[in-house]
Amino acid sequence: MVFLAFSGALFAIVLLFELNSRFIMKTLVRRPDYQDAYLIMGIIAFAFSMQVLITLLTAPLYSNKNPQLIFLSYLLGGLLNAFLNFLLIPSTGILGAAISTAVSYLFIVFVMSYLTYKVAAFSFFDKRLIYSGGAFLSLWIGVAYLREHVRFYQLIVSDVILAVSLGSLFYFIVLINEERKFFASFIKGFSIKGALEI
């Protein structure tokens, strides 16, 4: 459930980065020559989200005393990254570098997932991840298209709608009743703890 929740949160963050990437670059980068780098921000955000999942997946392997398998996963991902860099960068430049980074991190996630499931015997995989991943890819394409056609005030409204919609879909559709109760009790307990500390 924790892995599913982290995956859902990271997918939402990637979509929000993609939607806002053009505005972020135009606001923070003054030189027009570099502002078109917004095209790769969503890919970089996706690569970072995969790194977070990799960090989660290392815990069972460390606990099972298999650090060599973690090294093997990174080694295979590094080799794939080097191959893709050699293949993509000459023709596509920084876009190719971003794609190779994201694909290699995703590959490490798949390798570590397999090792965590088979070697560490940690059955974390949930079929809902497949549906969530498919929905994420579809939404990513839609958000990338929308990003090119919204003005600033429309972007703010779109951010609110996207965040509320994704949160509601995840909470009411993806999670089962027991998981919703757990999250509700967790948030309630966290709020009470914060209030007592204040």
User: What 3 state SS string does 40-57 have?
Assistant: HHHHHHHHHHHHHHHHHH
Q: What is the pLDDT of residue 183?
A: 75
pLDDT tens, residue by residue, 105-152: 999 999 998 888 877 777 766 778 888 888 888 999 999 999 888 888
Reported as half-sphere exposure (CB side, CA atoms, 13 A), residue 184 has a value of 9
Q: What is the pLDDT of residue 134?
A: 86
Q: How confident is the model at residue 195 (pLDDT cuts 50, 70, 90)?
A: very low
Inter-residue contact 60 to 115 (CB < 8 Å): no
Composition of the chain by helix, strand, coil, percent to 5: 90, 0, 10
How large is the average pLDDT for residues 93-98?
Answer: 91
pLDDT tens, residue by residue, 4-63: 777 888 899 999 999 999 888 888 887 777 777 888 888 999 999 999 989 888 888 888
Cα–Cα distance, 92 to 50 (Å, whole number): 22
Cα–Cα distance, 10 to 141 (Å, whole number): 16
Inter-residue contact 2 to 141 (CB < 8 Å): no
Inter-residue contact 7 to 129 (CB < 8 Å): yes
DSSP line for 64-84 = TT-HHHHHHHHHHHHHHHHHH
Q: What is the pLDDT of residue 192?
A: 58
Q: Which among 174, 148, 142, 189 is positioned nearest to 7, based on CA atoms?
A: 174
pTM of the model: 0.80
pLDDT tens, residue by residue, 156-169: 999 999 999 998 88
With a CB cutoff of 8 Å and minimum separation 6, the contacts of 105 are 47, 50, 51, 54, 77
